[in-house]
Amino acid sequence: MSASSAPDRFETARLEKLNKIVDLGVDPYGQRFDDHLPIAEARRRAPGEPGIIGDEVRVAGRILRWPKTGKLQFVHIQDATGRIQLMMSKADLSDEQWTLISALDLGDVVGVDGKLRRTNTGEITVFVERLTILCKSLAQPPEKFHGAKDIELLLRHREVDLIYNEGVLERLLLRSRIVDSVRQTLRSKAFVEVETPVLHAIAGGAAARPFHTHHNALDIPLFLRIALELHLKRLMVGGVERVYELGRVFRNEGIDATHNPEFTMLEAYQAYGNYESMMDLTEAVISDAVRTVLTARAMAAGDAVADAPPADDGRLTLPWGEGTIDFTPPWPRRKYADLFQEHVGCDISDAAAVQTAAASHGIEWANVHPDVVVSEVFEACCEQHLTGPVFVIDYPAAICPLTKRKTGDPRFAERFELYVEGMELANAYTELNDPRLQEELFRTQLAGLPDEESMAKMDHDFISALKVGMPPAGGLGIGIDRLVMLLTNTRTIRDVIFFPLLRPERVAPRGGGGAAESP
């Protein structure tokens, strides 16, 4: 498990076999291996019954299971598309090949040529005529039946998790397909993908604590971005009318089942639109992604039960825990104030009643802006009821410093959040394009928020861009990791990220563990 160079007894045993392979004049780390079939494709070509000799095929993969049974060996290998059994008979192979086989272990990568057949028990099998070692593995695989279970081990050595635990690779590959789908939907609507700076002099566009870094040559402090918003709006000023970025943002906050310090955000901006245009866009992006997942699931099922067409009732329904989520659009649009009235039992403008509700949930309200109190009461009382998908629309203006006020009612901002299963999945608004109001909102610090966490940070480059003139526009943000969680029935964000952040393992404790004195 450790990165130590001292081989353990398992590695030593494998090194001995590696040397045995070298003694045969064979490269234990292999060479280019052309024209092999994906295992799933080889399985499709297999004959239907035992006794029929099928196609000659070439496949490659990692050895996963190997009950060693004398002069007739059955080995199971796996590639990205599936698993297949190999049968190796001493009588059919040269002495050199049999020696090579005796030097193989679980975890080695091999390629084989042979004919597809079924065994007496009906299992699809390649009857090996020639075996090629492509990589000798020096690591001991986990227990064959229970697999690796220790969460820390799986996260620190994700490659082991990917190889030996079923469904892990599939889920993460499905993430890639979902991201493809999001890009395709946006492209089909003429949105242009761009890349804006990750290193910011001012980390703006959201309320979050940033990561600090430093540029040596310029000798200036820099921050990793916490949002994509401000640069993308400047591009809209510059004439990129439909623009999006799908990229990593970084927030220096706590870590839990739904938060990783770096996560993937989609932000899309549409000139001449508003928050209602963004609701339509959100429905399109997400329902297309749901269709992608349904298609992938149908294909996986079709592979197992041979070309049965997927049952299609026209609904976009995906499993979630014991139940399901129905993503079939259109999704309901509920006013923030109405939901507040419904679940809290008072009007958001009734300050006394809101304070009472806040106090009963242990929420601080003295010297806090009334809209911030409303927002915290909403989160405490309403969010868990929003199983959704549901658009919550028209937020209290003071908690939306980058949002245009509602025409005729400046108490509210033209903002929506999309909730699914109590999780905030998307956040969007009609963008504020009045530079003087924007500057004023930046100057008016939000009550109760320390400066570093405030959304109201003055970005002069952004204000001067707004002075050039940004057309009216809608803007949308979707947390891609959470979208993937909801679409793949996954409860923790670390299972939709290949390498979630962990505290580094301490190497070489050098004696005095906790006894280290401080200066």
Partner RNA sequence: GAAGGCGUAGCUCAGUCGGUAGAGCAACGGACUUUUAAUCCGUAGGUCCUGGGUUCAAGUCCCAGCGCCUUCACCA
Asked if 10 interacts with RNA (CB under 7 A), we say yes
Residues 451 to 470 in contact with RNA, rule: CB under 7 A: 453
What secondary structure, in 3-state letters, does 422-452 show?
CEEEEEEEEECCCHHHHHHHHHCCCCCCCHH
Asked if 347 interacts with RNA (CB under 7 A), we say no
Asked if 153 interacts with RNA (CB under 7 A), we say yes
CA distance 137 to 77: 14
* Choice from 3, 5, 32, 91 touching RNA (CB under 7 A): 91
Q: Pick the closer one to RNA by CB: 208 or 240.
A: 208
Of 89-97, 291-299, 337-345, 432-440, which part binds RNA (CB under 7 A)? 89-97
Asked if 225 interacts with RNA (CB under 7 A), we say no
* Choice from 22, 52, 72, 220 touching RNA (CB under 7 A): 72
Give the angle 184-388-185 at the CA atoms, nearest 5°. 5
Residues that bind RNA (rule: CB under 7 A) add up to a total of 77
Of 81-89, 189-197, 285-293, 294-302, which part binds RNA (CB under 7 A)? 81-89
Phi, psi of 2 (to 5 degrees): -80, 165
β-strand 124-135 against 82-89: which pairing, if any?
parallel
* Choice from 48, 239, 469, 509 touching RNA (CB under 7 A): 509
Residues 92 to 151 in contact with RNA, rule: CB under 7 A: 105-106, 119-121, 123, 125, 140-151
Write out the DSSP string of 28-71. TT-----SPPPHHHHHHTS-SSTT----EEEEEEEEEE----TT
Q: Pick the closer one to RNA by CB: 87 or 351.
A: 87
Asked if 315 interacts with RNA (CB under 7 A), we say no
* Choice from 49, 152, 451, 517 touching RNA (CB under 7 A): 152
C-alpha to C-alpha distances, 119 to 96, 116, 328, nearest whole angstrom: 25, 10, 45
Asked if 321 interacts with RNA (CB under 7 A), we say no
Contacts of 490 (CB under 8 A, 6+ apart): 171, 484, 496
Of 168-176, 192-200, 238-246, 474-482, which part binds RNA (CB under 7 A)? 474-482
Q: How far is the CB of 34 from RNA (least distance, A)?
A: 28
C-alpha to C-alpha distances, 15 to 10, 65, 67, nearest whole angstrom: 9, 20, 21
CB burial of 129-155 (b: ≥16 within 10 Å; e: otherwise) equals: eebbbbebbbbbbbeeeeebeeeeebb
* Closest residue by Cα to residue 227 from 391, 462, 469: 462
* Choice from 246, 394, 479, 496 touching RNA (CB under 7 A): 479
Residues 266 to 295 in contact with RNA, rule: CB under 7 A: none
* Choice from 403, 427, 488, 490 touching RNA (CB under 7 A): 427
Q: Pick the closer one to RNA by CB: 76 or 233.
A: 76
Please report, for the chain, how many H helices and E strands are present, in that order.
Answer: 14, 19
CB burial of 17-42 (b: ≥16 within 10 Å; e: otherwise) equals: bbeebeeeebebebeeeeebbebbeb
CA distance 395 to 311: 40
Q: How far is the CB of 85 from RNA (least distance, A)?
A: 6
Q: How far is the CB of 505 from RNA (least distance, A)?
A: 6
Q: Pick the closer one to RNA by CB: 271 or 397.
A: 397
Q: Identify residue 437 by its one-letter amino acid code.
A: L
Q: How far is the CB of 466 from RNA (least distance, A)?
A: 21
CA distance 327 to 389: 7
Q: How far is the CB of 161 from RNA (least distance, A)?
A: 10
Residues 13 to 32 in contact with RNA, rule: CB under 7 A: 13, 17
Q: Identify residue 107 by its one-letter amino acid code.
A: G
CA distance 420 to 424: 7
Site string for RNA, 489-508 (x = CB under 7 A): ---xxx-------xx-xx--
C-alpha to C-alpha distances, 45 to 59, 61, 358, nearest whole angstrom: 12, 17, 65
Q: How far is the CB of 91 from RNA (least distance, A)?
A: 3
Q: How far is the CB of 467 from RNA (least distance, A)?
A: 26
Residues 233 to 272 in contact with RNA, rule: CB under 7 A: 251, 253-261, 263
CA distance 168 to 175: 11
Q: How far is the CB of 392 from RNA (least distance, A)?
A: 12
Q: Pick the closer one to RNA by CB: 370 or 435.
A: 370
Residues 371 to 400 in contact with RNA, rule: CB under 7 A: none
Reading the block at residue 142, the tokens are 């986990």
C-alpha to C-alpha distances, 74 to 64, 80, 138, 482, nearest whole angstrom: 11, 20, 21, 42
Q: Pick the closer one to RNA by CB: 257 or 447.
A: 257
Q: Is 321 left (phi over 0), alpha (psi -120 to 50) or beta?
A: left
Q: Pick the closer one to RNA by CB: 469 or 519.
A: 519
Q: Pick the closer one to RNA by CB: 8 or 288.
A: 8
Q: Pick the closer one to RNA by CB: 309 or 450.
A: 450
Q: How far is the CB of 179 from RNA (least distance, A)?
A: 15
What is the Cα Rg of the chain in Å?
29
Asked if 71 interacts with RNA (CB under 7 A), we say yes
Residues 155 to 214 in contact with RNA, rule: CB under 7 A: 155, 206-209
* Choice from 69, 216, 367, 518 touching RNA (CB under 7 A): 69
* Choice from 27, 55, 421, 424 touching RNA (CB under 7 A): 424
